[in-house]
Chain A
Amino acid sequence: MTIEFRNVMKKVRLGPIRATYEDLNIRIEEKTRVAFLGQPSAGLGGLVDLICAADAPDSGFVTRTHSISWAMPGSSFLHKHHSLAANARFIARLHEANEAEFIAKVSDLAQLGEFVNQRADRCPKEVLSRFVFATGLCLPFDHYILTNVSAGAKTDAPRFAEAITEIGQRAGILLVTSNIKAAQTFCDQAYVFAEGKATYFDNMEAAAEFFSSLAAESDDDDSFFEADEELQDLVNMDFVP
């Protein structure tokens, strides 16, 4: 029961982000809590798409042998002209969950209150953010893919942290982030992505140290480019005709 990348090559092109990963070999075992650490420019979104089968690698293989969530919190499924309950019903139908029970669970975790039957476009952003996060957390997966560990206001953070910790005890977590503190809190293994390579650490402290050193180097590079206007124009430029 794993998620496995075998000799994967992927050119990530997400807007201004340009990154190329070559010969990626990653293995994520069942019930493990793994962090994918990378700067926003590392294009980890492209790798998440590979894991979720939303895209295919340029070469190599990605295999999944257990159930995984979508990258949470993702709100692409939301119909803004529908109530939160109707949107939750879609997720329940998609994952063959009992609709009434699912809505009750989501409403409870996201503390929707009277907003549960309110149109999504008339709900405050904090409520929406709690709702989209809770829809994923309330479903049973073997592995949860998270791109953020909190939702809503700052006061909601402990409740969601508790929910994620509880999930980490019964299932696996894959946290895709540049937030080293969150990774240290919820994960015990990490892959650090930089310069088209993934480096594995089974110790979060070593991963944090390595990642921080990369971040410092990246800051130096940025200041080098920022110092000259002409060089700044060359950042992210695609030289291939």
Chain B
Amino acid sequence: MLADLKTQFSVIRALTIHELQGLMKTYNYGFAWALLEPMMFIGVMRVARSAFKSLTPPNMPPTTFLVVGIIPYYMFMNVMSSASKAVSQSDSMLKFPRVTPVDLSIASALSDFCIYLTLFCVLLVPFSTYERVFPPDNGMEVFAAIIMLWMLGVSIGFVTGTAMRVFPPVKQFVGYSNLINRMAGGMLFVITMFPSEYWPYFTWNPVLHCEEMLRDGWFTTYTSPVADPVYVMKCILGILVLGLSLERYQRRMPYI
């Protein structure tokens, strides 16, 4: 059992490094896009905030507020997408008998984690220093929220990936749900910006809890009234068990 785990760890490590090294191949496009897309979004939101002051809460500096919310959310989206792709499609790496779709999913999710964590630090340190909100109020809470978002992304990726493998149009539905999540997931707001009677419409979403934890952990001026890490862990556990079970069952099916 321990030997198997050690082997799987070695395989995931090798694949993660291989994946990260592969990014340099299309450096101008692949890696630059990872940097450019959230940067552009932050830029647009920052300009919009200048026009409409109520877009971000008054007790948090706007640029740091946006960076703290947007980068981890992009990580979540990309982790979910790459985990799902690794499970749903055949890959040349599967020709190595040691490599399984689960290893590929975790490896590509880890490489996304590395990219976005670097981006998070590179953008956040100068912006938060400039806006005088550095260091974070509770670094551990921020890091825990990022890890939870990553785990949530991997878990949902397993479920959507297995669904896509048997029914490819699921991809469209995933796209729509991502759009809804983008609006309702707390990337651009904190829950206190809405009257409390509307909170139950948002708090079912584990992504919102993670975003709340991020803002709660970074800003001394904000304490989230709804952030619940236990709820997020329960969601991760449930979705992960479902995703891994589906993946295990589907391994017996040929690729289309």
Contacts and interface: CB of A to CB of B under 8 A. Distances in A.
A, B bound = yes
Contact of A94 (B6, B22, B96): B96
A94 B98 contact: yes
Interface residues of B, number: 28
Where chain B touches its partner, the secondary structure class is: helix
B129 interface: no
A53 B18 contact: no
A81 to B, nearest CB: 5
Contacts of A42: none
B17 interface: yes
A21 B96 CA distance: 23
B254 interface: yes
A173 to B, nearest CB: 16
Contacts of A52: 94-97
Contacts of A80: 25
Contact of B25 (A79, A90, A96): A79
A67 B94 CA distance: 15
A79 B22 contact: yes
A81 B24 contact: yes
Interface stretch (A69-77, A108-116, A183-191, A223-231): A69-77
Contacts of A130: none
A79 B18 contact: yes
A153 B156 CA distance: 49
Interface stretch (B7-15, B55-63, B67-75, B225-233): B7-15
A76 B18 contact: no
A96 B7 contact: yes
A74 B15 CA distance: 17
B253 interface: yes
Contact of B95 (A11, A76, A79): A76
A184 to B, nearest CB: 27
B93 A90 contact: no
A93 B90 contact: no
A92 to B, nearest CB: 8
A79 B127 CA distance: 36
A171 interface: no
B14 A93 contact: yes
B105 to A, nearest CB: 16
A119 B6 CA distance: 31
Interface stretch (A54-62, A174-182, A200-208, A214-222): A54-62
A69 to B, nearest CB: 8
Interface string B71-108: 00000000000000000001011111111100000000
Interface of B: 6-7, 10-11, 13-15, 17-18, 21-22, 24-25, 90, 92-100, 251-255
Interface of A: 10-11, 49, 52-58, 64, 67-71, 74, 76-77, 79-82, 86, 90, 93-96
> Which 4 residue pairs across A and B have the least CB separation, nearest first?
A76-B92, A93-B14, A54-B94, A94-B14
